[in-house]
A and B are shown apart, each in its own frame.
Chain A
Amino acid sequence: MDKAQQDQNAKYQQMVKEATPKPEHRKNIVLAFLTGGIICTIGQAVFNLFSKIEPTRMETTGTTQATMIALGAIATGLGFYDWLAEHGGMGAAIPITGFSNTVTAAAMEFKREGYILGMGAKMFVVAGPVLVYGILSSFIISFFWAVLTGTLL
């Protein structure tokens, strides 16, 4: 790209920046905090409920996660979760219900191309990177943790 084109692009990008309305950070942060908070409160309530039935903390954690994933999937199927995320932003995306939504939304979308090449193949099209890098980073962290604490040897 020549110099003149670069200058023109830089000038234009400045114009675009000026013309684009600033995101409403304050409102977004408050809504994200409330949305995330409400989802986590529901999660805590579910946890407390299961802790009365399940004998160990590990089991309670497992059933709570499974319940929240199911709730996220149901809310997605009912067409509620995208509305929630439109207003709640990251507050809806970060909790495990958001992860459930990425899988369910993709599964719903690609079911039209069949259960094998559609839904089966593309269910993790959005959630895939989360899984890959989630597993990779947890492996790295647990490796160092094991080395540092001496549990590896």
Chain B
Amino acid sequence: MTQKRQGLQTISFDQSPRIISSATIAGPKEASSNLGSYIDRLVTDSMVGEQTPEKAERKLLYQACQDALAKTKLTEKDIHLFIGGDLLNQIISSSYSARDLGIPFLGIYGACSSIVEGLGIGALIVDGSYANAVLVATSSHYQASERQFRYPIELNIQHKSSNQWTVTGAAAAVVSNQGEGPRITKATFGRVLDYGIKSPNDMGAAMAPAAADTLCRHFQDTNTSPGDYDLILTGDLGSIGQKLFVRLVKEAGHTLGTKHMDVGAYIYKPEQGAGAGGSGCACSALGILGYVIKEMYQGRYHRILAIATGALFSPVSYQQGDSIAGIAHGIVIEG
């Protein structure tokens, strides 16, 4: 049993759970972004015919789940667990999707790191033979997040250059021990780190220390270095957080160079006016289940390390003067 653990924080899966199917869905801004061509289903109306952005988000999440299932021969009954997470209070997008799917549900919250937290937990469960197939999904919606975490949409706010834009979309994956697809071989669950960042406009800065910590811990635990991976993907650090991350990692003795890519910094084009880049549960999720998986099938990448980052931020704790803590989880995907 103990050989499944490597070092302090890393788990090595010997049954090699596979991502046998994945599906992505996103809104119009994402359609014209750099990731547009990697997204399976693009919707032209970010409200997808719903009256509220909260209802729209759960519709996107549910659709992604349906699409991921449709790509397999499995039905809801064959899926033993549904692991879902999103940014909204009480993770309503996930729980309402779970209600409609009718699959036993584990709700998770890792802010924007939820997708890797979900895939990691899914891999644990499948690797331990506690389930044959697990559905993992996360979502986020720009309008729903703005109103929960920031201000009303139409308010006279001048966004700062360090602000990030919440990605509207959802992604789902089926993790199973039967079938074909890239394998999840390792997971490094991260610690919560807080370097005293207090500004909710600096989410990238709040998350960078956690991302650097998880990455360095992973290298140490697995005795690997950046050279062992075709790509090291971070979730949504954005252009400022990414700079800080690279610097922190360098101080710890690792040079990432062109091996590193941050989905948040990469996703939107400069003219799309997204400040420091994308964020939200869908940001890392579209990066991993859209970009990475598709490029793996094309044969461009064979072994990648995906680190999704989350700012554990609440408007209440922020208003009470607390600083913003960050978390980051990593998984290795090989295929």
Contacts and interface: CB of A to CB of B under 8 A. Distances in A.
Query: Which secondary structure characterizes the binding site on chain B?
Result: loop
A20 B163 CA distance: 11
A105 B143 CA distance: 13
Nearest to A86: B158
Interface stretch (A75-83, A128-136, A139-147): A75-83
Interface of A: 8-9, 12-13, 15-16, 19-21, 23, 28, 76-77, 79, 81-82, 84-90, 92-93, 98, 101-102, 104-106, 108-110, 112, 125-126
Contact of A76 (B154, B158, B196, B243): B154
B89 to A, nearest CB: 13
Contact of B154 (A8, A23, A105): A105
Given A9-B195, A20-B202, A93 B161 contact: no
A24 to B, nearest CB: 8
A12 B156 contact: no
A28 B240 CA distance: 21
Interface stretch (B19-27, B145-153, B226-234): B145-153
A12 B209 contact: yes
11 contacts: A12-B197, A13-B195, A15-B247, A16-B202, A16-B244, A19-B244, A79-B154, A81-B156, A82-B157, A85-B155, A85-B157
A64 B9 CA distance: 66
Interface residues of B, number: 25
Contacts, number: 87
Contacts of A110: 152
Contacts of B240: 16, 19-21
Contact of A12 (B52, B159, B196): B196
B258 interface: no
Contacts of A21: 161-162, 240
B149 to A, nearest CB: 13
B51 interface: yes
A98 B202 CA distance: 26
Contacts of A85: 155-158
